[in-house]
Amino acid sequence: TFHTKPETFVSAVTVTGVPDPPNPARLVSATRLELGMPLDEEADLPAAVEGLREVLRSNGFHTAKIQHDLTRRERTQETSIHFHVIPGARARFSRPVIKGSPEQSERRLLRATGWQRWWGLRGWKDVTEQRVSEGLERLRSSYLKRDHLLARVVLKSLEYEPETNTIRPELEIEAGPRVFIRAEGAKVSRGLLRDLTPVYQERTVDRELLLEGQNNLVEHFQARGYFDAKASFRMTDPDSDGEQRITYVIDRGPRYRLAHLEVSGNQYFRDETIRERLSITPARFPQYRRGRFSRALLERDRDVLMDLYRSNGFRDAVVKAEVEQNYQGKPLDLGVKLTIEEGRQWFVSDLELAGVNPRLLDTIGGLLNSTPGQPFSVVNVANDRDSVLNWYYNSGYPEATFDAQTIPVEGEERVALRYTINEGRRNFVRDVLVNGLEVTKPDLVANRITVAPDEPLSQGGIVETQRQLYDLGIFAKVDVAVQNPLGRERNKYVLMQVEEARKYSLNLGLGAEFGRLGGGGANFDSPAGAAGFSPRVQVSLGRSNFGGLGHTASGTIRVSRFQRRALLNYFAPQFRGNEDVNLTFSNLIDRSQDIRTFTSTRLESAIQIGQRLSRANTLQYRVIVRNVSLEEETLKIDPNLIPVFSQPVSVTVFSSSFIQDRRDDPLDSTRGVYNTVDFGYAPGLLGRKASYTRLSARNSTYHRIRRNVVVARTATIGWLYNLQDAPVPLAERFFAGGATSHRGFPENQAGQRDPVTGFPVGGNAFVFFGTELRFPLLGDNLGAVLFHDMGNVYSSLSNISLRYRQRDRADFDYMVHAAGVGVRLKTPVGPVRVDLAYAPNSPRFVGFRGTRDDLINRTGSFNVPQRVRPFQFHFSIGQSF
């Protein structure tokens, strides 16, 4: 008689009770219980407990007690395993035992480990696995700094002392000889020599590493124009003081210039196709003054071209490289000639598919590149293999195999192909089982699962499910596995184990802004802006997965000299399960002095719905309720107008935006189009004192005219139409000028000005045009820009003019032009830019000199001639448009 017992499989594995470190993921990994694997309780559980104990001991928990509970679900053959740990007190370090020949004082060694608290004044730190490894690494680094390249630091043991709950490390240290590495024959800094010599990274000295350092030095100098550079090394034996010297002897030779690069023999590919794949570059000013060339780069380019031809059927292609010195009679010029011998192109004569279900022949055939009449290459065959197997794996055939045979046709440059496919069994989804949800709503996860019961078991569907869940931003880990993947049953359970991310996040940001900034003091001396500096501090607190819906609530406080802002934001991505729709609620309190004419306090609440129409097109709908008050004592305008403009203004704005973004890189675009249109309507309802419509539009295009040269242009227009007799409040008008609109002005200094004080008062329309020529300057990371900006903020749409000249000091309805140069430094967060602009027709106006009391009492100096400075300097991150 046989008694059978149903097999069970690992489902959720959790470990609780242990303070970080180690973190829960590290503990679960230590159990070696993988999701979906068969579970042998008698063998796997003791091994899992021992794995946990090992990790706990390495983190100082030597007295930990481990209990485990099993939860079985017979219907799905799942077993969830929960380990509860009572860790006890974490052990601390004690004074280590140091053996060997350390050649350093014990005090210095202890300080290098970092295991003491406050240099030993407060005893020893708690033991963690990371502290142990970091302490050993710091010890090795301390010897490396003293040129002991062969120093050996070994942790022999960590002895636990239960009476004191401490751990005593036993270290064996052999300092070894001091190894001095220097270069002669050419100047090489100590830091550069360390970077180019791998013995510092590997912390050992052998001939292979020294040869690698020699090659690195040669390539370094060749890349700087010394194309005949040579290097060798000599090494002495340790002397009586235990010191060893290694000297790299460098012969740079003359410094050349790669003056010419010629490509010939190519018939199948155009010159542009060939050259864009080459890394060697002829000299061109100013980016590469001597060109970019080395023997290693030349060989690399030869291999790239060979691969290009062979992947297109030219099996016998040969690329020859010749380097000509004394090019065109100039002794320090080089010419490089690449001669391509293409040979005959091979084609596929016939293709046979074997082992494919007849119903799938058309489907599989449509995936193939190597069809009769197409160029033959092993690269295309490999691509066919990947395409076919991916289709089978995504259609529920996990055991599918692919075998390719090539049969040359005698006497012809043709190859017959035979693809043999073994489909194997087809698996289907029995059900999808999700574990690990704590606060997240199950429907939120279920709506993003792309595999369903009774459908083929698709590997692509599993990956897509993981992607969609990670895109929610609320899971730290999403594991998906097939239960019993090697079993013979056709219907498989898909197991999904999720780990929710931490709910709260705190971010602190520090920054600064400088330039000709807004924000006025008590005097009226600088209506066109004054040079200034302001530190900026920002603190934000976020709560993710709010209500288990995948929403985010956050609060942000920003403080600088010119702005104090508090923002509450609630963001619902993929609103109501639609990944193309999002919802945002925001509340804002802002006190700003970024416009020199006044200081404003703004209270604002907004609701916005964003809808992605396609990959490039987005619509936004919003309702904004805003109350803005201007502080009367900060208004720098005609005293007769202060009672009018100092009144608080409340508006309700209904607006919509259309955004089209077809740029290749939003941070540093080289081609594409960016369009925006925004329309807003503020009705005069419920006693609102302002009523208007607002329209703004922008069109930016980017054109690559050469490999690294881009022409970018932008046009922006705006119109504010007043629906009431009273003037539009100052805070609702258009203010512009500065680094992102018109670089001929300081920030928010374009347009109309108060006829008495000369301070900007905004306008009801604006037009700006910008053109940039972006090109490389030095190397690959430093670029330059020539730009021209033109435009202004106008009093009304009908007063927009392209006129160049200003009629008088009260006329601001004309086109201000500015030309300039800029520098761009590539960084991971976008280009850092510095722009210097000159505006020959910058506005002239009259202002007032004196205090506020002088202005009110009419005792100061009126009609003082002033002008926006023609030269402007701007510094920021990101391109101007």
The pLDDT tens digits of the residues spanning 667-677 come to 889 999 999 99
pLDDT score of 519 more than 50: no
Q: How many CB atoms lie within 10 A of CB 201?
A: 11
pLDDT score of 325 more than 80: yes
User: Percent of the chain having pLDDT more than 90?
Assistant: 60
In the chain, what are the domains? Answer: 9-86 (3.10.20.310), 92-174 (3.10.20.310), 178-251 (3.10.20.310), 257-341 (3.10.20.310), 347-422 (3.10.20.310), 428-500 (3.10.20.310), 505-877 (2.40.160.50)
What is the pLDDT confidence band of residue 200, given thresholds at 50, 70 and 90?
A: confident
Q: What is the distance between the alpha carbons of residues 86 and 16, in angstroms, rounded to a whole number?
A: 9
Contact predicate 95/166, CB 8 Å: no
Q: What is the distance between the alpha carbons of residues 694 and 763, in angstroms, rounded to a whole number?
A: 12
DSSP string, 61-109: -SS-EEEEEEEEETTTTEEEEEEEEE--PPPEE-PPEEEEE--S-HHHH
pLDDT score of 686 more than 70: no
Higher pLDDT, 236 or 120: 236
Most confident of 79-88, 242-251, 592-601: 79-88
Contact predicate 364/392, CB 8 Å: no
What is the pLDDT confidence band of residue 646, given thresholds at 50, 70 and 90?
A: low
Chain-centre distance of CA 86, in angstroms?
A: 41
Q: According to the 3-state scheme, what is the secondary structure of 608-657?
A: EEEEECCCCEEEEEEEEEEEEEECHHHCCCCHHHHHHHCCCEEEEEEEEE
The residues near 250 (Cβ < 8 Å, ≥ 6 apart) are 183, 184, 185, 186, 188, 217, 221, 229, 230, 231
Higher pLDDT, 576 or 801: 801
pLDDT score of 598 more than 90: no
The residues near 768 (Cβ < 8 Å, ≥ 6 apart) are 714, 715, 716, 717, 736, 741, 742, 789, 790, 791, 792
pLDDT at 796: 93
Angle, vertex CA 82, rays to CA 78 and CA 85, nearest 5: 165
DSSP state of 831: -
State mean pLDDT over 849-865: 84
State mean pLDDT over 28-49: 92
Mind listing the pLDDT tens digit for each residue in 766-823? 999 999 999 998 888 899 999 999 999 999 999 999 999 999 999 999 999 999 999 9
pLDDT score of 4 more than 80: no
Q: What is the distance between the alpha carbons of residues 773 and 455, in angstroms, rounded to a whole number?
A: 55
Q: What is the distance between the alpha carbons of residues 787 and 839, in angstroms, rounded to a whole number?
A: 12
Contact predicate 833/877, CB 8 Å: yes
Identify which of 752, 842, 738, 743 has the alpha carbon closest to the alpha carbon of residue 800.
752
pLDDT score of 75 more than 80: yes
Phi and psi at residue 52, to the nearest 5°: -65, -45
Q: What is the distance between the alpha carbons of residues 288 and 197, in angstroms, rounded to a whole number?
A: 26
For 312, the token pair is 């297109």
Chain-centre distance of CA 550, in angstroms?
A: 23
Instruction: Indicate the residue type of 511.
Output: G
Q: What is the distance between the alpha carbons of residues 471 and 579, in angstroms, rounded to a whole number?
A: 10
Contact predicate 722/729, CB 8 Å: no
Q: What is the distance between the alpha carbons of residues 658 and 678, in angstroms, rounded to a whole number?
A: 7
Q: Determine the 3-state secondary structure of 753 from DSSP.
A: strand
User: Percent of the chain having pLDDT more than 70?
Assistant: 96
What are the CA-CA distances from residue 386 to residues 212, 401, 407, 635 (Å)? 36, 10, 21, 70
Question: Please, what sign has the CA dihedral across residues 137, 141, 143, 147?
Answer: positive
Q: What is the distance between the alpha carbons of residues 593 and 596, in angstroms, rounded to a whole number?
A: 6
Is beta strand 92-93 parallel, antiparallel or unpaired with respect to 65-73?
unpaired
Is beta strand 243-251 parallel, antiparallel or unpaired with respect to 318-325?
unpaired
For 349, the token pair is 């004569």
pLDDT score of 532 more than 70: no
For 633, the token pair is 């004592």
Tokens 């807004």, located at residue? 518
What is the pLDDT confidence band of residue 249, given thresholds at 50, 70 and 90?
A: very high
Alpha helices in 147-263, H assignment, sequence order: 190-196, 199-202, 207-222
State mean pLDDT over 460-479: 91
State mean pLDDT over 368-375: 91
Tokens 């000639």, located at residue? 337
Identify which of 559, 565, 508, 509 has the alpha carbon closest to the alpha carbon of residue 534.
559
pLDDT at 1: 58
Is beta strand 782-794 parallel, antiparallel or unpaired with respect to 816-825?
antiparallel
Q: Determine the 3-state secondary structure of 749 from DSSP.
A: coil
Instruction: Indicate the residue type of 3.
Output: H
DSSP state of 340: E
pLDDT score of 520 more than 60: no
Identify which of 207, 223, 221, 225 has the alpha carbon closest to the alpha carbon of residue 251.
221
Q: How many CB atoms lie within 10 A of CB 509?
A: 11
pLDDT at 521: 52
Q: What is the distance between the alpha carbons of residues 537 and 681, in angstroms, rounded to a whole number?
A: 34
What are the CA-CA distances from residue 176 to residues 111, 151, 172, 861 (Å)? 20, 5, 12, 81
Identify which of 695, 702, 712, 645 has the alpha carbon closest to the alpha carbon of residue 671.
702
Q: How many CB atoms lie within 10 A of CB 599?
A: 21
Q: What is the distance between the alpha carbons of residues 811 and 122, in angstroms, rounded to a whole number?
A: 73
Mind listing the pLDDT tens digit for each residue in 378-405? 889 999 999 999 999 999 999 999 999 9
Contacts of residues 18-26 at CB distance under 8 Å and 24 or more positions apart, as own/partner, are 18/56, 18/61, 18/64, 18/85, 18/87, 19/87, 19/90, 21/59, 21/128, 21/129, 21/130, 22/55, 22/56, 22/59, 22/129, 24/499, 25/476, 25/477, 25/499, 26/55
What is the pLDDT confidence band of residue 644, given thresholds at 50, 70 and 90?
A: low
Instruction: Indicate the residue type of 556.
Output: T
pLDDT at 7: 83
Name the region of 748 (left: φ>0; alpha: ψ -120 to 50; beta: rest): left
pLDDT at 421: 94
DSSP state of 19: P
The residues near 345 (Cβ < 8 Å, ≥ 6 apart) are 268, 312, 313, 314, 375, 413
Tokens 């690069």, located at residue? 261
The residues near 300 (Cβ < 8 Å, ≥ 6 apart) are 279
- pTM metric for this prediction: 0.80
Contact predicate 538/563, CB 8 Å: no
Kindly tell me the burial class for residue 838, based on how many C-beta atoms sit within 10 Å of its own C-beta (0-12, 13-18, 19 or more). middle
Mind listing the pLDDT tens digit for each residue in 815-850? 999 999 999 999 888 899 999 999 999 999 998 888
What are the CA-CA distances from residue 683 to residues 215, 624, 625, 696 (Å)? 73, 12, 11, 18
pLDDT at 757: 87
What are the CA-CA distances from residue 842 to residues 240, 423, 572, 865 (Å)? 76, 75, 46, 13
Question: Which of 17-31, 147-161, 587-601 is least confident?
Answer: 587-601
For 498, the token pair is 């999720």
Q: Determine the 3-state secondary structure of 129 from DSSP.
A: helix
**DSSP E strand boundaries for 342-473:** 347-354, 401-408, 414-422, 428-435
Instruction: Indicate the residue type of 168.
Output: R
Kindly tell me the burial class for residue 61, based on how many C-beta atoms sit within 10 Å of its own C-beta (0-12, 13-18, 19 or more). buried
Q: What is the distance between the alpha carbons of residues 92 and 97, in angstroms, rounded to a whole number?
A: 15
